[in-house]
Structure 1
């Protein structure tokens, strides 16, 4: 294999014999631009040695760069200014900007920390037990499950981040400001869905706690009709989390009387195992787009956008379940993206 130095020597030798850059290019010994650069450097310096790159020398060695990476990974919340100060103790005098450049070279960028429910050792163990139990289930198996959950909707409490495109001086322009209130009105709902589509959605009465009596009312008046509509006489499983009112003896007894099979046992703090969480995300984004200005409009848009969710969306969420189970199992019970 021809080395870089040997290639330079061949180009200069041909140049000395009267060959032009165009002539040398026909030999395909090197790219055309490289050939002309070698000849130009030879004319200016009389040497085949390539000039060293201009600019300031790198302030840190590879070993020092690795040290910086280790310092950052030891505490992900350390700022670039704090890293620069700690790096200086290792003999590297660099700015916070240089620190960010070095970390960027290793793919480390500053981002907001993801907010996830705290997982105890018991939660992690229960999550692994759940995933082991259902790891061989196919999308068809998950299609026989009806998932349920409660969720809050806030007036003037936009779901997720709201981005606007504006000029530098337009930060407080009316069209670029998201209005907020100190105590946004919150509407709580209960809903269910399966691969066959969304079920009924219930808006819970204001200032009413979801106790076992109210929950039994929801199951009787909302869940049973949904199951009958979607599954008929076909057997299905019902999923609900471990909220106190869900685990009440009267609820367990009532579900048994309905001959209803329950998916589980369900692990606490595990929204990433329930596809209805992704459905809530879709639902809330659509409600936010309507920009409700009062409680009545918020309720109307909640019901309107729920009814607009297609069966195809529900099917895709259910089809993703084997992947989520495998991902949580792969991460040994820790959080995964959902």
Structure 2
């Protein structure tokens, strides 16, 4: 294949031999306009290849870019504005936008800090005690938790997607909406579920305007949890894991002859893998875009039942790495 540089050389060679532009264009080695432009540039500069424009000079050298990278890696939580101020002390006057561009060139992408519950000294101590206790049991665990699901905004699917039959200004007008309509009090469904390495267990949807008080929790333990324990573990020993909500006191569960894994450390949703299971369930339900409460409830039950044992087993297997990270970070939050 003939390169553009070689084509330019041929055009200039023919031009030097006295061939006019129209005769060179007749050979169809390049479009007529391209041939005239190449000849014009050659007459003006005397060069076959046009030099690239220098453009705006780069504000920083490679050495300064490397210094910025080192500053950022020293503390990954530093913002681009703070980095720009530190970089300025090294002699580089640049905006936070330039800082982000330089870091992006080095493969360092900006991220928003994850929001985590505050951990007191007692929380941290309890987290370490909890994990050191739970790692040595060797007993099957049934994990439980509560989750709320809300209907997605029914108007959101209509925004930004105008009728394909529209064109021009009509399409623009149909796409641009000055405000984003929201539902002030969306329909919400509260539920309690449980799972183990053997698969998902019962899933109970709370009736509307029902608080999870002691008596209701006792009812769920008796009618939903005990049958799941019997189904999944039979006569095997099993420990029950739940969080420290007021209605979850160990006494309530012991009244049903259920052994508790504990004590549960406060502000520690990252220690319960059912939070990851809720995320999986939510993605599956949201993908189908339910439009009313009944449909939302039916989809929740349907997708919960469809969660395979492979999924729950992987969540349980991930606890090994989770335990190691919590202990390594001396009780602080982990990435799970």
TM-score (norm 1): 0.68
Instruction: State the alpha-carbon separation in 2 of the partners of residues 333 and 171 from structure 1.
Output: 54
1:163-204 deviations in Å (ceiling 9; x for gaps): x999xx889759xxx974222221110011111111111111
1:105-130 deviations in Å (ceiling 9; x for gaps): 55532122222222222211111122
Large movers: runs of 4+ above 4 Å: 54-58, 71-75, 169-174
Instruction: State the alpha-carbon separation in 2 of the partners of residues 157 and 116 from structure 1.
Output: 26
Q: How does 1:10-159 map to 2 (within 5 A)?
A: 56=57, 59-60=60-61, 62=63, 66=67, 70=71, 76=77, 78-80=79-81, 83-84=83-84, 87-88=87-88, 90-104=90-104, 107-136=107-136, 141=138, 144-156=140-152
| 1:300 alignment counterpart | 298
Instruction: For structure 1, list consecutive stretches of 5 or more residues without a partner in the other structure.
Output: 1-53, 159-163
Instruction: State the alpha-carbon separation in 1 of the partners of residues 76 and 307 from structure 2.
Output: 42
For the 8 Å contact 1:156–1:179, the answer to whether it is kept is no
Aligned length: 268
For the 8 Å contact 2:197–2:316, the answer to whether it is kept is yes
Instruction: State the alpha-carbon separation in 2 of the partners of residues 328 and 337 from structure 1.
Output: 9
Instruction: State the alpha-carbon separation in 2 of the partners of residues 279 and 71 from structure 1.
Output: 34
Instruction: For structure 2, list consecutive stretches of 5 or more residues without a partner in the other structure.
Output: 1-53, 155-159, 163-170
| Aligned Cα root-mean-square deviation (Å) | 3.4
Instruction: State the alpha-carbon separation in 1 of the partners of residues 186 and 331 from structure 2.
Output: 35
Q: Among 309, 314, 317, which residue is 2:312 paired with?
A: 314
Shift of the 255–100 alpha-carbon distance from structure 1 to 2, 3 Å rule, reads closer
Instruction: State the alpha-carbon separation in 2 of the partners of residues 133 and 281 from structure 1.
Output: 27
1:316-337 deviations in Å (ceiling 9; x for gaps): 2122222211121112212222
| 1:263 alignment counterpart | 261
Q: Secondary structure at the match of 1:261?
A: coil
CA positional deviation for 1:239:
0.6
Instruction: State the alpha-carbon separation in 2 of the partners of residues 327 and 278 from structure 1.
Output: 17
| 1:272 alignment counterpart | 270
Instruction: State the alpha-carbon separation in 2 of the partners of residues 79 and 172 from structure 1.
Output: 37
CA positional deviation for 1:264:
1.4
Instruction: State the alpha-carbon separation in 2 of the partners of residues 171 and 84 from structure 1.
Output: 40
Higher relative CO (Cα under 8 Å, sequence separation at least 6) belongs to 1
TM-score (norm 2): 0.69
Shift of the 123–236 alpha-carbon distance from structure 1 to 2, 3 Å rule, reads same
Shift of the 61–246 alpha-carbon distance from structure 1 to 2, 3 Å rule, reads same
2:237 is equivalent to residue 235 of structure 1: yes
CA positional deviation for 1:88:
3.5
CA positional deviation for 1:78:
3.1
Instruction: State the alpha-carbon separation in 2 of the partners of residues 211 and 93 from structure 1.
Output: 60
Q: Secondary structure at the match of 1:262?
A: coil
